[in-house]
Amino acid sequence: MSFLSHHGALGLFLAMFLESSAFPIPSEAILPFGGYLVSRHSLPFLHALLAAAAGGLAGASCLYALGRWAGRPLLLRYARLLRLSPGQVERAQGWFERRGAWAVAAGRMVPGLRTWISVPPGAARMSYPRYLAYSALGIVAWDAALIGAGALLGARWSRLAALVERLGVPVAGSVALAGLILWWGWRRLGRGHA
């Protein structure tokens, strides 16, 4: 926290780069503290959001490159650590190839999954611009929500970090589902008026 206090936007960029590169630094603590810095007027909200998102995208790009370079053998090699059979990896990869873009966006809002969701798109050879666009959707949504909430809570930002850590997966899943429902409804309304 003292590193973030001292380095501001650069510190936020570096911390989120490391978090997205699979270093065990929880965004659930980094981002609300960034919001606390916003509440103290040490850092403008937009600067905090841009720094966090840029760091997250840079780190996510490193893991995408790893997935692209190492590919399917990497997934199969470490599948047993996740208690997956080779058949399950094959089915998951097939699903990912069909619906992977939205999985990337939604996965960015799920603690524990948000970092590792970068490897399958690389292994599946998803186009990098498409990967980056959907990653940005999820990263900006996650970062804005946690920085904004941290700014609202001010000195009580650590309560948010603990809550997100405890409830992150169900809450993030609900947010992702709500987002998908809104997108589906928007698409249906758009087709109805066309």
Confidence of residue 56 (pLDDT cuts 50, 70, 90): very high
Q: What is the reported pLDDT for 193?
A: 46
Structure letter (DSSP) for residue 113: T
Dihedrals phi, psi of 151, to nearest 5 degrees: -65, -40
Q: What is the reported pLDDT for 35?
A: 85
Confidence of residue 129 (pLDDT cuts 50, 70, 90): very high
Indicate the average pLDDT of the chain: 76
Q: Which has more pLDDT, 64 or 178?
A: 64
Confidence of residue 115 (pLDDT cuts 50, 70, 90): confident
Q: Which has more pLDDT, 83 or 1?
A: 1
The CA distance from 130 to 95, in Å, is 17
The CA distance from 106 to 137, in Å, is 9
Rounded average pLDDT over 116-123: 79
Contact 157, 150 (CB under 8 A): yes
Contact 43, 73 (CB under 8 A): no
Whether the predicted pLDDT of 179 surpasses 70: no
- Burial status of residue 190 (CB atoms within 10 A of its CB: 0-12, 13-18, 19 or more): exposed
- The single residue listed with the structure tokens 């008026």 is 193
Is the CA virtual torsion 103, 108, 111, 112 positive or negative? positive
